[in-house]
Amino acid sequence: MNFLILSAGTRNKVVQYFKRTFEGVGDVIATDASTLGPAIYDADRYYIVPVITERGYIDIILDICKKEQIGGVLSLIDPELSLLAANEDKFKTIGTTVIGSSYDLCEMALDKMQMYEWLKSHGYNCARSWMDKEEFYKAVENGEVRYPVFVKPYRGSASINISKVYDKETVDLLFAHEDDLMIQEFLNGQEIGADVYIDLISGEAVSVFTKKKIKMRAGETDKAVSFKDEKLFELIEKFVMEAGYRGQIDIDIFDVGGEYYISEVNPRFGGGYPHAYESGCDHMRLILNNLNGVVNKKNIGTYDEGIYMMKYNEVKIREI
């Protein structure tokens, strides 16, 4: 059984972990839109493909799956998750399993306002958010929220174009120069990341790894330390079951005064996943089990606390 990783980019570790797990089982194939995507060179084979928005892109991926006898496929970038989910039946027809959540959940992950409305309606603590700046100004006047706040595109990822704003004038300026913005309450607390695997067969969260973020860089966790809290584990289990996620997801959470606030969800491997893997949470093995029809046993929190992750730069040199 071979496995396909789409839009591998710079996620070399993820490719390496899949190769380690699939050794003796099958090959790991990677794709990217550029020959300068370093992670493809850690795969057994790779394909250079068009950008995901190009017409006919999904047919090219389906052809690769047929040619390489792919048993499972996933993407490492947010916009492609919805595309895979929307074409899940086409992959299923050729014997390839899409490792991921439903189309609606992938779209909700991209739409921060929709995520906020879902969290609020289901009773979860979350940062209050506004699309209408006049409604936000009323909330400020009524003492419901105060500066600073975040102004960001309501649809996006990787912390692109996010501004921390301290006054009304800056909010007005940003809204005057850019469309589709939202305002989000600033949560002043400890930021937490959770790497979660929800079994594709049982629908249960079977592995949860949590870390306190120490330093961020370009929207990703740069330094972090592992920790455990049963209260947080229970919250995560309840949330993923209620929402209906499947496969690998990455959740951003805040601890504000001892209360946990759910911020965002990325229904894919996050940039900080190597911390979980190296601490004993091998989600590649869980994926392989599911592809073989095996239901994974619940194994939450079986890792050591106080394990630090510190990212550093590496280079790949080759003649192309």
- The CATH number covering residue 48 comes to 3.40.50.20
Instruction: Tell whether 180 and 194 lie within a shared domain.
Output: no
Q: Classify residue 8: in a domain, yes or no.
A: yes
Number of domains in the chain: 3
Please indicate, yes or no, whether residues 144 and 80 belong to a single structural domain of this protein: no
Q: Say yes or no: 173 and 140 in one domain.
A: yes
Residues 88-118: tens digit of each pLDDT: 999 999 999 999 999 999 999 999 999 999 9
**Residue 164: CATH number of its domain:** 3.30.1490.20
Shared-domain flag, residues 164 and 72: no
48 lies in some domain? yes
Q: Are both 213 and 157 inside the same structural domain?
A: no
Domain stop point among 98, 120, 138: 98
Buried/exposed code over 155-188 (b: 16+ C-beta within 10 A; e: otherwise): ebbeeeeebebeeeebbeebeeeeeebbbbbbbe
Are 173 and 269 in the same domain? no
Beta bridge partners of 223: 215, 310
Classify residue 106: in a domain, yes or no: no
> Are residue 142 and residue 225 in the same domain, yes or no?
no
Residues forming a β-bridge with 150: 164, 184
Question: Is the domain of 142 the same as that of 93?
Answer: no
Domain hosting residue 181, numbered range: 128-185
Structure tokens at 131: 């699309």
Is residue 105 in a domain? no
CA angle 6–290–18, rounded 5-degree value: 40
**69 part of a folded domain:** yes
Per-residue pLDDT of the chain (320 residues; tens, 9 = 90+): 999 999 999 999 999 999 999 999 999 999 999 999 999 999 999 999 999 999 999 999 999 999 999 999 999 999 999 999 999 999 999 999 999 999 999 999 999 999 999 999 999 999 999 999 999 999 999 999 999 999 999 886 655 678 999 999 999 999 998 889 999 999 999 999 999 999 999 999 999 999 999 998 877 889 999 999 999 999 999 999 999 999 999 999 999 999 999 999 999 999 999 999 999 999 999 999 999 999 999 999 999 999 999 999 889 999 88
What distances in angstroms separate CA 90 from CA 8, 56, 79, 96, 269, one per listed residue?
Answer: 22, 14, 18, 9, 23
Indicate if 90 and 133 belong to the same structural domain.
no
Nearest to 100 by CA among 80, 70, 114: 80
Rounded distance, CA 104 to CA 37, Å? Answer: 29
Domain co-membership, 303 together with 196: yes
107 is a domain residue:
no
Pair (169, 265) in one structural domain: no
Indicate whether 275 and 192 sit together in one domain. yes
Q: Which of 98, 118, 141 represents a domain boundary (last residue)?
A: 98
Q: Is residue 299 included in any domain, yes or no?
A: yes
Would residue 204 count as lying in a domain? yes
Residue 236: C-alpha distances to residues 242, 244, 307 (Å)? 10, 12, 21
